[in-house]
Amino acid sequence: MKIRYRKGHDEVEKKVLGNLSVNEPQALLNRFSTLIRSSGKEDEFKAAHYISDRLKHFGISHQVHEPTLYISLPVKSSLQVKEGNSWDEVRCTSPSFSASTSPGWVEGQGVMTTSTVREEDDYVFDSAAVDPGSDVRGKIAFCEGTFSPGMVRDLEDMGAAGIVMINPGDRIHESNCSTVWGTPTLENMNRLPGIPVVSIRRPDGDRLVRKLNAGGVSLRMRTEMDVGWRRCPMPVAEIRGKDEPDSFILVHGHLDGWYYGVCDNGTGNATLLELARVLHEAREGLGRSFRIAW
């Protein structure tokens, strides 16, 4: 693709920036705050229909694709620590693509692991590597951080029975623990995690690590995941350029999200809609096309 400076570029930029408004993004955020946009579920389709309706209102050409995707949604999880003759519950959640244990439990002794950065991996989520000297076979491994599919892969290969991710701060982060991104293939489906993974808050993690250092800790964990193939909506808008319409810039963000409220990626969805609106208004000055995908 040729790189060039189109005559009138400054005027197009001024028009785009001058037309930006918070009204449309705020309206989307208000609507999305009432939805639980889990992948392939009813509320995600409601979100897609909202975007489609607004694009129609603006007169923007678009399609709502419905690919069938391999999706993992956490249903419930439980982590318990043995205290004398009883088991005490520790608040936790499972990342997407953790293995399911239900209806049974996975039990084991806790062990703390350390990790390093694997510089040869290009993808940041795979870059954490577990210290190969860690003895985790048959045990439930503690790791620090939000999530690292690379660490999950390493620990499973090393024989860990389960993994507890100690998240920073007082909140548990939602995440994905698989090194397979997108639809699994025959070549990489063996990399889908085969052991349970849960995440816990830092204060709970610190307490368990102190107990571990004082003489050991017995744990058991149970996870249930909703895994399968689902139709998922994907709106894609196109604003055609005038000079090279078959060359396009792709701007995208994911439509699905966790729980009620405007979390990842609600504000991104709002930004994409406003971008589509202002680019459509400035379409006569565009040299190349834009495709905007949710």
Instruction: Look up tokens 């639980």; give the residue.
Output: 36
Per-residue pLDDT of the chain (294 residues; tens, 9 = 90+): 454 555 567 888 999 999 999 999 999 999 999 999 999 999 999 999 999 999 999 999 999 999 999 999 999 999 999 999 999 999 999 999 999 998 899 999 999 998 665 555 555 555 556 777 789 999 999 999 887 898 999 999 999 999 999 999 999 999 899 999 889 999 999 999 999 999 999 999 999 999 999 999 999 999 999 999 999 999 999 999 999 999 999 999 999 998 887 877 999 999 999 999 999 999 999 999 999 999
Give the separation between CA 75 and CA 143, rounded to whole angstroms.
22
Give the number of other CB atoms < 10 A from CB of residue 198: 26
Exposure on the CB side of residue 88, measured as CA atoms within 13 A: 10
Give the separation between CA 44 and CA 24, rounded to whole angstroms.
19
Of the candidates 122, 142, 139, the residue with the CA atom closest to the CA atom of residue 130: 142
Predicted model pTM: 0.87
Domains along the chain? 9-67+232-293 (3.40.630.10), 70-229 (3.50.30.30)
Give the separation between CA 271 and CA 61, rounded to whole angstroms.
18
